A and B are shown apart, each in its own frame.
Chain A
Amino acid sequence: MTTPILETQALTMRFGGLVAVNNFSMQMGDTDLVGVIGPNGAGKTTIFNMITGIYEPTEGDVRLSGKSLVGEQVALITQKGIARTFQNIRLFKDLTVLDNIRLAGHSRMKYGLIANILRTKKFHEEESRLKEEAIKLLKIFKLENKMDHLAKNLPYGEQRKLEIARALATKPKVLLLDEPAAGMNPNETADLTKLIKWVRDEFQIAILLIEHDMRLVMEVCERIYVVDHGELIAHGNPSEIQNNPKVIEAYLGAQSEEGEQ
């Protein structure tokens, strides 16, 4: 078997006495579209935070193409090819849509501080290349006519889209989406469903998706990992998951708090 693009081995995260994630192992191939589901507080976001280096796992390993990422800086992990969006959108609110995208290209810019200050030829070349790339991406997401708007002034659905676009602008191999449909209306969610599949096909990347909207998850994901109270309780394709008694129990047990979306 070829090495998985992303793999976690027995990831565990403890916050003091609380075990937020316990012994979580998963694998995904180059262009897999995989879901992570579970009730509120199950530990899903914590898994993302460990993969991206925001938290250092208490135990276990994260591997990108077989190479361990544990202990690396967040920025370096991104540069190596893992990009993410956040559950509570974290755009650069007071910057323009264009600048949000440009920032994702920062680590690929090849001019130095002096060239920046003196605005040399190289500076102009690199900047116009960056801008072109950014506009190309914004066109894909139909945001190019809002290029000069401040991110905070976009409607909610477009902010979510911009965050995905910004993550893609880092040129990732693996894209982590943390509840991209949260707060979207059914129309927007339907668009998003198509968009996620399309992004995978177009960019040929692996996507790991946390989502509470079951319709979306069941429709786009090829495989699903289910976590509850930090434990992996099930793993399989959508129909297996839907009929798994453990999953049904975890969700029914949590149903009263969570409600249907």
Chain B
Amino acid sequence: MDYLAHLTLNTGIFIILAVSLNLINGICGQFSLGHAGFWAVGAYTGAAYGVFLAPEALPDFINLFISCGIGFVVAALSGLLIGVPCLRLRGDYLAIATLGFGEIIRILIMNMDVVGGPRGFTNIPNWSNLFWVYFWVVITIVFCANLLRGTHGRAIISIREDEIAADSMGIYTFKYKTLAFVIGAGFAGLAGSLFAHAQQFLHPNGFTFMWSVIILLMIILGGLGSITGAIVGAVILTILPEMLRFMGETVSQWRMVIYSILLICLMLWRPSGIFGKHEFNILKFFKKDEEATS
């Protein structure tokens, strides 16, 4: 795959990761720092299906579909496992627990010989392509956008706005926090599976805490709570390091410093991110239109 196609594909994967983290952190207002962990869970389970289980008779795209499904479900289940005990606690606990979760997953994988352990997981079938990645990008975006335009999505937003008030309106806040968390984790797992079948090689160190932070940066940059913002943030922070790379070795090494400066500038000029909590106007336009007719 040539360089540009590869970059475009990666951008798509990060759009899914950012949009799904935005559901948890931006829309539901819970502070998760473990997105790389769910991504890794999806990547490794999806890849394991490809390497050990996939019937060769099936066409690639069906195998990819199954692999994505497995990545989604296993990541969602691990989200449920970590979410249920932690979501009852207040914000900081969830951040610490999810951070720990991400690291535990990485270390577990490091010690699992079947999936290559520290040598990395090789020979993963090459099923992903631009079409299927962007197919899932669209599904993820439509899923989230539609969710927000219904009562379940509104319930999720109300938790961010005021949890006690939401409870007092008869909304089971714990249930909806868990729902947002599990769906977010699931889509991260799906992104993992797409990623695995594009890279064809996985290494546990490719899923460090740093990546959770970068995905978080994407949604903060775009505007916490905005789907459009998450997309734009993902695009900027996937393409920017590549542009820096072209500027030479030294500039590239200063990547994180440049991110920090970017973030400080953002805090000064647009404290709530590029889009704030708003969506791109065309989306709003559609929404109004539809509501008028419904």
Residues of A within 8 A of B (CB): 52, 54, 73-76, 78-79, 83-84, 86, 90-95, 99, 102-107, 109, 111, 113, 115-119, 123-124, 126-128, 130-131, 166, 170
CA distance A18 to B171 in the complex (A): 31
Q: Which residues of A contact B167 (CB under 8 A)?
A: 54, 73-75, 78
Q: Contacts A90-B164, A93-B161; is A75 near B173 (CB within 8 Å)?
A: yes
B185 → chain A closest CB, angstroms:
16
> Is A116 a contact partner of B147 (Cβ separation < 8 A)?
yes
B269 → chain A closest CB, angstroms:
20
Q: Contacts A78-B168, A104-B170; is A94 near B150 (CB within 8 Å)?
A: no
Q: Which residues of A contact B158 (CB under 8 A)?
A: 92, 95, 103, 106
B149 → chain A closest CB, angstroms:
8
12 contacts between A and B (CB under 8 A): A52-B168, A75-B171, A75-B172, A103-B171, A106-B151, A107-B170, A116-B152, A117-B147, A117-B150, A119-B149, A124-B294, A130-B151
A78 → chain B closest CB, angstroms:
4
> Is A103 a contact partner of B169 (Cβ separation < 8 A)?
yes
Q: Which residues of A contact B152 (CB under 8 A)?
A: 113, 116
A169 → chain B closest CB, angstroms:
8
> Is A127 a contact partner of B150 (Cβ separation < 8 A)?
yes
Q: Taking chain B's interface residues, is the majority helix, strand, or loop, or is none over half, making it mixed? A: helix
Is B165 in the interface zone, CB < 8 Å from A?
yes
> Is A99 a contact partner of B154 (Cβ separation < 8 A)?
yes
Specify the chain B residue showing the minimal Cβ separation from A90: B165
Is B36 in the interface zone, CB < 8 Å from A?
no
Specify the chain A residue showing the minimal Cβ separation from B166: A103
Specify the chain B residue showing the minimal Cβ separation from A128: B294
Q: Which residues of A contact B173 (CB under 8 A)?
A: 75
A252 → chain B closest CB, angstroms:
35
Q: Taking chain A's interface residues, is the majority helix, strand, or loop, or is none over half, making it mixed? A: helix
A69 → chain B closest CB, angstroms:
14
B37 → chain A closest CB, angstroms:
24
Is B190 in the interface zone, CB < 8 Å from A?
no
Our pick among B146, B149, B169 for the contact of A166 (Cβ within 8 Å) is B169
CA distance A109 to B171 in the complex (A): 11
Our pick among A106, A109, A116 for the contact of B169 (Cβ within 8 Å) is A106
Q: Which residues of A contact B150 (CB under 8 A)?
A: 111, 115-117, 119, 123, 127
Is B157 in the interface zone, CB < 8 Å from A?
yes
> Is B294 a contact partner of A116 (Cβ separation < 8 A)?
no
Is B162 in the interface zone, CB < 8 Å from A?
yes
> Is B171 a contact partner of A107 (Cβ separation < 8 A)?
yes
Q: Encode B71-109 as 1/0 by CB contact (under 8 A) with A.
A: 000000000000000000000000000000000000000
Specify the chain B residue showing the minimal Cβ separation from A74: B167
> Is B161 a contact partner of A83 (Cβ separation < 8 A)?
no
> Is A117 a contact partner of B170 (Cβ separation < 8 A)?
no
> Is A104 a contact partner of B169 (Cβ separation < 8 A)?
yes
Q: Report which residue of A74, A91, A104 has the largest number of chain B beta carbons within 10 angstroms of its beta carbon.
A: A74
Q: Which residues of B contact A78 (CB under 8 A)?
A: 167-170
Q: Which residues of B contact A123 (CB under 8 A)?
A: 150
Q: Contacts A94-B277, A95-B158, A106-B155; is A170 near B165 (CB within 8 Å)?
A: no
Q: Which residues of B contact A74 (CB under 8 A)?
A: 164, 167-168
Q: Which residues of A contact B164 (CB under 8 A)?
A: 54, 74, 90
CA distance A128 to B153 in the complex (A): 16
Specify the chain B residue showing the minimal Cβ separation from A81: B170
